[in-house]
Amino acid sequence: MITSKQNQTVKTVVSLKQKKNRELLGLYVVEGEKMVFDALSFGAEVTQIFATEKYADYPFKNIEQVIFVSDAVFKVMSDEVTPQGILAVVKIPKSGDITRLSRCLLLDRVQDPGNVGAIIRLAVACGVTDILTIDSADAYSQKAVRSSMSGIYHVNIYRFSESECLSLIKQNGLSLICADLAGENVFNFKTPNKFCLCVGNEGNGISDNLIKNATDVISIPMNKGVESLNVAVACGVTLYTLLNNL
């Protein structure tokens, strides 16, 4: 039982709250009973589990990877307002084959980690597992991971520059479909077989250069008085419609 907040192992886990340390160590944190047990069930590479005495009698398959800590220590490690008393440290997976993309998402400077996590969740629900990102919130931050509701275990996340994304889209023969208020009605749009759907920044939308290079620009028709939808909501409506219109 670790009882000291100054323990080096504890400090390492706490450091993973920062993006630079996640990138340096190649690790991220998942917290809560469902997220931890899903990580084990879905084959995520769990390196350590930290739990309070509440889980002392749980029949973990590999007890060597479980470290028990006091409630006070766990509170320091936790990112939750009301911690459940269990978290896991997981290896950030290596990205998949970027030369065989067929349907994917592109997040252009999406800044809210909650939105990034929600988009990951809906992508998995739609069967889309490749997500390109340009200067977006880190998908492996604890808020994004939590919002993904275990979706993070089923996707490939790629971080590229805008020019690199455009090159990859071209190399893979994908149609770049940008979601923008000035686009054509998505409900009347015939979806190409291979596509990359791009959604943009919460305040500024998609960059002019991506719009310029788009194969198509589409929008969700809305009643007067409604300026826009939350980016995750708009992405969900648009992606489901595109897949339905194949």
Q: Decide: helix, strand or coil at residue 188.
A: helix
Are 154 and 129 spatial neighbours (Cβ–Cβ below 8 Å)? yes
Report, in angstroms and rounded to the nearest whole number, the Rg of the chain calculated over CA atoms. Answer: 20
Average pLDDT score, the chain: 96
User: What pLDDT score does 63 carry?
Assistant: 65
> Range with the lowest mean pLDDT among 60-64, 140-144, 229-233?
60-64
Percent of the chain whose pLDDT exceeds 70: 100
Q: Across 109-146, where does the E strand assignment appear?
A: 130-134
Hey, what are 26's tokens?
């190649």
For residue 62, pLDDT over 80 is answered with no
Q: Decide: helix, strand or coil at residue 107.
A: strand
Going along the chain from its start, the domains and CATH numbers come out as 8-91 (3.30.1330.30), 103-244 (3.40.1280.10)
For residue 245, pLDDT over 70 is answered with yes
CA dihedral 18, 22, 23, 24 (to 10 degrees): 100
Which one-letter DSSP state was computed for residue 201?
B
CA dihedral 50, 53, 56, 62 (to 10 degrees): 10
- Spatial CB neighbours of 29, under 8 Å, sequence gap ≥ 6: 13, 16, 17, 79, 87, 88, 89, 90, 142, 145
For residue 172, give the nearest of 103, 89, 70 by alpha carbon: 103
Hey, what are 22's tokens?
């996640």
For residue 46, pLDDT over 80 is answered with yes
> Range with the lowest mean pLDDT among 50-54, 98-102, 126-130, 169-173?
98-102
d(CA 219, CA 19) in angstroms, rounded, equals: 33
> Range with the lowest mean pLDDT among 55-69, 87-101, 213-227, 229-243?
55-69
For residue 140, pLDDT over 70 is answered with yes
Are 241 and 188 spatial neighbours (Cβ–Cβ below 8 Å)? no
d(CA 152, CA 181) in angstroms, rounded, equals: 29
User: What pLDDT score does 95 carry?
Assistant: 79
What is the per-residue DSSP string for 164-182? HHHHHHHHTT-EEEEEEEE
User: What pLDDT score does 32 carry?
Assistant: 96
pTM score, two decimals? 0.95
Percent of the chain whose pLDDT exceeds 90: 91
